[in-house]
Chain A
């Protein structure tokens, strides 16, 4: 396997983009990415594009072809990758493996979702759960994480205030991110008093419904050196699956697929949780961030809630989590999220994260998750000086 680098990323504004169709979202992020890379479009050999459910959201399948056509990339090899909300992370891994294998030199990893076009988003998102044995019985996606939250509260004493601290912290970071959907600060009181969605989760415990796209360009490290780009190398790539029905998992206060994917990434990279300088985690709901920081090994089980409430995961904390604002503030166009996380890693590691820039981070991690924990990817990136 060859060493692989990310040499550029592109991202659209995230939000309710009523004037922008699905195809233009991807084209906009792709053109920004290619311009930043300083290569020609024709040098790109293939693309993997994460998208959860364009068929339900806008009635469009055969997605990779139409997106690449409108981005001016035909006739490259292009494949859509689906793993619910982990589609972007899975697309990134596919692109990484294609470059690492030696099959191609320049490969795009993209992600896109157009969620605001009239479809019932609650219904569309619930298709990531077991249709016949969860959704049939009235479960929603917030409902699944609400049941995880109740289990975690019961087992470890996690509180609504600790969950609210996740939203407050992510909005504080997100207020410094010009691409985000809701770049404003909020208070714990706002979160606790918000309209209920699925008890114990209110509206401000949930990531929003978002349109957006993000793209990353990968090539061998040796080629990246010739281009004179900052070398941000992929040193670990983990991917794991689990049963998608929450009731089939032994511990309802855990999301073991995250730990399994992380173990593979840590092993490949030869590093551990203490070595990671910052991490983008999949905070689709506030409780998800708490569990993910435990599964990734940053905190003991049951300590994720106190850790965020005590500021340990803040921008100036010992382990900054979701410096971008996370899914909560930046927005969560489901298929794009995994690549948007890579965009944040690349920005931080190359020193271009603006007002939210961390002090000389060396190792960044991105953890992307599908459904209530039926799939997860974990990537570790290192800046090589």
Chain B
């Protein structure tokens, strides 16, 4: 991945910046130009909460080449405390520790190494909250 394509997404991947619709209050992650809910076009930037729960999940055994070294790994759709949903890996989780409803928090991790000439790629992963 070339660096402009990477740095464009840094506010979302590093700092969880989202867009709150001024018309109806729906929060979009990533930001959009048009609100999915009301069609509004005015937004303010807000931070996402880091805590949430697993809505569904899978364990990937056959990944694309760039994730080969991490297999098997768990991927989940997480619903954060404000209702926003996103897809991410669950870091350092044995597959049987992740279920629908598992409480997680988002942490900062390396996502992909990429090839030798590419930038290292970082972002959020989920981590199971010790209960």
Contact = CB atoms under 8 A, between A and B. Distances in A.
B23 interface: no
Given A138-B75, A140-B62, A246-B87, A147 B57 contact: yes
Contacts of A138: 60, 63, 67, 70, 73, 75, 89, 111-112
Interface in A127-153: 132-140, 142-143, 146-148, 150-151
A200 B55 CA distance: 15
Interface in B43-68: 55-67
Contacts, number: 95
A150 B88 CA distance: 16
A252 B77 contact: yes
B93 interface: no
A140 to B, nearest CB: 6
B36 interface: yes
Q: How large is the interface on B (under 10, 10 to 19, 20 to 34, 35 or more residues)?
A: 20 to 34
Contact of A120 (B36, B64, B87): B64
Contacts of A148: 56
B121 interface: yes
B10 to A, nearest CB: 12
Contacts of A196: 59, 61
Contacts of A32: none
Contacts of B73: 138
Interface string A101-140: 0000000000000000000101100100000111111111
A199 interface: yes
Contacts of B67: 138
Q: Which of B57, B58, B125 has the most CB of A within 10 A?
A: B58
B60 A247 contact: no
B94 interface: no
Contacts of A201: 58
B100 A137 contact: no
Given A120-B65, A137-B89, A143 B58 contact: yes
A227 interface: no
Contacts of B64: 120, 122-123, 126, 135, 140
Contacts of A136: 111-112, 121, 123
Nearest to B95: A199
Q: Which of B63, B77, B123 has the most CB of A within 10 A?
A: B77
A201 B58 CA distance: 9
A150 B87 contact: no
B38 interface: no
A197 interface: yes
B93 to A, nearest CB: 13
B24 to A, nearest CB: 16
B30 interface: yes
A120 B67 CA distance: 13
A243 interface: yes
Contacts of B58: 143, 146-147, 150, 198-201
Interface string A193-235: 0011111110000000000000000000000000000000000
Interface string A226-267: 000000000000000001011110001000000000000000
A148 B73 CA distance: 17
B86 interface: yes
A120 B112 CA distance: 17
A154 interface: yes
A124 to B, nearest CB: 9
Given A138-B67, A198-B61, 13 more contacts: A123-B64, A138-B63, A142-B62, A143-B60, A150-B56, A151-B100, A154-B100, A196-B61, A198-B60, A243-B36, A247-B77, A248-B85, A252-B55
21 contacts: A120-B65, A132-B9, A133-B86, A136-B121, A137-B87, A137-B123, A137-B125, A138-B89, A138-B112, A139-B60, A140-B63, A142-B62, A147-B77, A154-B56, A197-B62, A198-B59, A198-B60, A199-B58, A201-B58, A245-B87, A246-B87
Interface of B: 9, 30, 36, 55-67, 70, 73, 75-77, 85-89, 95, 100, 111-112, 121, 123, 125
